Structure 1
Amino acid sequence: MHNAAALLSRHPHQPAPQITLGDPEIALRLGRVHELCGQARRTLALSIAAQIGGPIVWIRLDGASEFINADAIAEQINPGHILFVTPAKRDLLLWAMEEALRDGRATVVIADLASPPAMVPIRRLHLAAEAGSGAGACRPLALLLTPDQGGAPGIETRWSLEPAHHTGMDHWTLSRLRARMAPPRDWVMTHTQTGLGPCSP
């Protein structure tokens, strides 16, 4: 049994490492599972992955109608840093994501889904990401891409990215729909020198 002296430390509390997009409020904690939804969810995933860097594992069902065009993303990220995995069944898709997270060598693991998964698979993904954070070379970031407004239970945060080109070319509305420690909020985003970021006030 640990005594009080062993539990206390003089070291200051270290906040969990996270990735941000030009604003401390737009933060995704590493080693956890986050959900990205909305029409431009893949644009958001690419911007996050580009900021972290590779290697990246992108998983989608074999035969899915939508896929990433390597030429189109080359200005954001080197397509050679992305390993595309195309399992034949949804169960294998989530299994592949779990294994990639547990391995701890991919900085970002993305699963492109037709609908949000249930609580139990997400809990398993959280545990795999935690295991990968201790066993591998990095703290992997898990991103679930879901259509419409998402709705996966048990995720760390949920973000939506929608086109807002009426406000200017290359503009989007980023919405924080769910976060454990922060209320919902919207930002108008555009491309900056460091990637996708908030527009100046």
Structure 2
Amino acid sequence: MPGPAAPLSSDAPPPPAAAAVPHVLLARRPHRPGPAVAFLPGLALACGRAHELCGPARRTLALMVAAALDGAVMWIRPAWMRETLNPAGMEGLVNPGRLITVAAPRAEDLPWCAEEVLRAGVVALCVVELPAPPALTAVRRLHLAAETGAREGRCVPLGLVLTPGEGGAAGVESRWHMAAAHRPGETRWRLSRRRARTAPPAQWWLVRRGRRLVPLPA
């Protein structure tokens, strides 16, 4: 038969306590908006983050954003893509001499190049054209690179990820879709904000008023 249980010693160390959850993980910090670029009246993109542009007129939308910023624009594109930017066609939006184009030979080089540009923090805008929406990890790396560039570089960089079709990159700060909707005697586009961290979905008609583009509710 088993003997009597040994009495508990008052000198025995107490059992280890459960690890406390750091308070910082439980805190709910309010969102504090940082710098943003107003690319159209009433519409802005947060700097230091990566945004997705999709739709047939995504390159035109990227040029509209470039027109709202100063300095050089780094434009990264697949080397195998036959479509190229037409300098004569972009003159109405932005000076073609501001663009520095990079042709990446492999698909995996595209997000890597964008990371390096954003991390350096030397240009205000980095545009990268991708053949398909990037994975969540790749988008997070772009955010981190932009934050590093803002902290250690000369400016707060803005990243634009251009994807075909309807887009669908996970984790982007916002997603915008634009397509031409021209009519006889009127140049216009249909712009949609599909998702954004701090704004609801919305749609506009972009129409010309003199030399300006003005968004009107769709």
Give the TM-score normalised by the residue count of structure 2. Answer: 0.80
Equivalence for 1:18:
36
Instruction: Show structure 2 runs of 5+ residues with no match.
Output: 1-30
Change (3 A) 1:89 1:127: same
Please identify, of 86-95 and 70-79, the stretch whose mean Cα deviation from structure 2 is larger: 70-79
Which protein has the larger Cα radius of gyration, Structure 1 or Structure 2? 2
CA distance in 2, matches of 1:62, 1:42: 16
Query: Do the aligned partners of 1:51 and 1:194 also contact (CA within 8 Å) in 2?
Result: no
User: Would you say 1:42 and 2:42 are equivalent positions?
Assistant: no
Q: Note if 1:146 corresponds to 2:189.
A: no
Which sections of structure 1, spanning at least 5 residues, go unmatched? 1-12
Mapped to 2, the partners of 1:59 and 1:197 lie a distance apart of 28
What is the CA–CA distance in structure 2 between the aligned matches of 1:86 and 1:172, rounded to whole Å?
A: 28
What's the CA shift for 1:198?
1.0
Counterpart check, 1:54 vs 2:71: yes
Distance 2:161 2:101 in 1: 15
The within-5 A match list for 1:87-102 is 87-102=104-119
Alignment of 1:69-88 (within 5 A): 69-88=86-105
Q: Pick from 154, 157, 165 the counterpart of residue 137 of structure 1.
A: 154
1:167 Cα offset (Å): 8.1
Q: What residue in structure 2 maps to residue 181 of structure 1?
A: 198
**Corresponding residue for residue 137 of structure 2:** 120
Higher relative contact order (CA 8 A, sep 6+): 1
One of 117, 132, 156 as aligned partner of 2:173: 156
Tell me the CA shift for residue 88 of structure 1.
Answer: 0.3
Change in Cα spacing, 1:195 to 1:153, as seen in structure 2 (3 Å) is farther
The yes-or-no answer on 1:65 pairing with 2:82 is yes
> Residue 140 and residue 180 in structure 1: after superposition, are their counterparts in 2 closer, same or farther (change >3 A)?
same
- Give me the whole-angstrom Cα distance separating, in 1, the residues matched to 2:208 and 2:84: 22
Q: Which structure carries more helix by proportion?
A: 1
Deviations 1:86-124 (A, max 9, x none): 010011111100000001011100011111000011111
Q: Percent identity?
A: 44
> What displacement does 1:50 show?
1.1
Q: Matched residues in 2 for 1:87 and 1:94: separation?
A: 10
1:133-169: CA deviation from partner (whole Å, max 9, x where unpaired): 1111111110000111100000000000111113862
SS of residue paired to 1:96: helix
Cα 1:138/1:149, change in 2 over 3 Å: same
Give the number of equivalent residue pairs: 188
> What is the alpha-carbon distance in structure 1 between the residues aligned to residue 211 and residue 146 of structure 2?
26
Range that drifts further, 107-116 or 64-73 = 64-73
Q: Deviations over 1:176-199 (max 9, x none)?
A: 000112211001102456754314
Task: Pick one of 35, 39, 44 that aligns with 1:27.
Answer: 44
3-state SS, counterpart of residue 40 of structure 2: coil
